[in-house]
């Protein structure tokens, strides 16, 4: 899981798809990271890390602004065992976004 560089940052830890808008707006600094940690430990949060990284940036090995790489890069996800699922028409930081998929093992 990728988070902000500073634990007191009030950005990153994208929670907008996991909590209601009011809670998302109220969470600041370390509270955001704690909320994400709590979600990851629940059944509801089991897919969070894959849902945040599904739309990766394909930087084609070029250097990319870290603010545009928050969703992960294709190369990073391929090294972690993901495969290209499909191209998209979306662009981030001048690079195409792609959908990546990793087969998860059932427990």
Residue with the bigger pLDDT between 61 and 103: it is 61
Predicted TM-score of the model (pTM): 0.53
Tokens of 10: 């009030």
**For the chain, what is the mean pLDDT?**
77
Could you tell me if 71 and 92 are in contact, meaning their C-beta atoms sit under 8 angstroms apart?
yes
Could you tell me if 33 and 7 are in contact, meaning their C-beta atoms sit under 8 angstroms apart?
yes
Measured between alpha carbons, how far is 61 from 74 in angstroms, rounded to an integer?
A: 9
Q: For 13-58, what is each residue's pLDDT tens digit?
A: 666 667 787 888 888 888 888 887 787 777 555 555 544 646 789 9
Residue 26: helix, strand or coil by DSSP?
helix
Neighbouring CB atoms inside 10 A of 101's CB total: 13
């Amino acid at each position: 899981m990728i988070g902000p560089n500073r634990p007191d940052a009030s950005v990153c830890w994208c929670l907008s798809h996991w909590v209601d808008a009011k809670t998302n707006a109220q969470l600041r600094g370390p509270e955001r990271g704690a909320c994400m940690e709590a979600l990851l430990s629940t059944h509801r949060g089991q897919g969070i890390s894959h849902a945040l990284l599904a739309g990766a940036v394909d930087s084609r090995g070029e250097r990319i602004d870290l603010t545009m790489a928050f969703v992960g890069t294709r190369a990073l996800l391929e090294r972690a065992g993901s495969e290209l699922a499909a191209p998209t028409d979306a662009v981030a930081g001048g690079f195409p976004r792609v959908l990546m998929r990793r087969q998860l093992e059932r427990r």
